[in-house]
C-alpha cells in the first residue's frame, strides 16, 4: 500500500510541476492544485496507514498507543483542503479578471507567435 501511495504522490507532483511550466494561466493554477494535493497525501501518509484500529481511545478500554490512529495529520489535511479550495477559487477569479483586462491568458501577457508554414 505504501508503494501505491508513494507512486500517487510522485505522479501528482510530476504532473503539477509540468503544468506549472506551461505558458497559460489556467494550467499554472491546475499545477498548483495538483502539487497541493500531493502535499496533502504526503502529510496524510505521515500518520501511517492502519487497519482495524480505533480512531480515538474509548474510556474503559485499555489500549496501547500503537493501536490508535494519530488524528493530527488528518486535521492538518482537512484544514489544507479547505484553504486550498479557497485559494483555487481566488486564483480563478484573478485569472478571469486578468484575462478580461489584458485579453490573453498567457503568464507573460503576450501571445506566442505561431510558425506559419
Question: What pLDDT sits at residue 56?
Answer: 63
What predicted TM-score, i.e. pTM, was given to this entire model? 0.73
Among 42-46, 59-63, 82-86, which range has the highest average pLDDT? 82-86
Alpha helix ranges (H) inside the chain: 2-20, 25-45, 71-102
Three-class DSSP category at 17: helix
Q: Domains of the chain: which residue ranges?
A: 2-49+66-102
Q: How many CB atoms lie within 10 A of CB 12?
A: 20
- 8 — pLDDT class (breaks 50, 70, 90): very high
C-alpha cell at 62: 485499555
Using one digit for the tens of pLDDT, what is the confidence trace for 27-58?
Answer: 999 999 999 999 999 988 887 666 666 666 66
What is the C-alpha to C-alpha distance for residues 76 and 45, in angstroms, rounded to an integer?
12
Cα–Cα distances in angstroms (integers) from residue 38 to residues 15, 69, 112, in the given order: 10, 21, 31
**108/2: higher pLDDT:** 2
What was the pLDDT predicted at 115? 46
Q: In CATH, what class is 2-49+66-102?
A: mainly alpha
Amino acid at each position: 500500500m505504501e508503494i501505491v501511495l508513494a507512486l500517487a504522490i510522485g505522479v501528482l507532483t510530476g504532473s503539477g510541476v509540468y503544468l506549472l511550466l506551461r505558458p497559460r494561466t489556467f494550467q499554472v493554477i491546475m499545477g498548483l492544485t495538483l502539487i497541493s494535493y500531493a502535499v496533502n497525501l504526503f502529510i496524510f501518509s505521515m500518520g501511517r496507514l492502519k487497519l482495524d484500529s480505533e480512531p480515538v481511545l474509548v474510556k474503559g478500554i485499555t489500549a496501547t498507543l500503537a493501536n490508535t490512529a494519530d488524528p493530527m495529520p488528518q486535521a492538518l489535511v482537512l484544514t489544507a483542503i479547505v484553504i486550498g479550495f479557497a485559494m483555487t477559487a481566488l486564483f480563478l477569479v484573478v485569472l478571469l479578471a486578468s484575462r478580461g483586462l489584458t485579453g490573453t491568458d498567457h503568464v507573460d501577457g503576450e501571445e506566442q507567435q505561431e510558425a506559419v508554414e
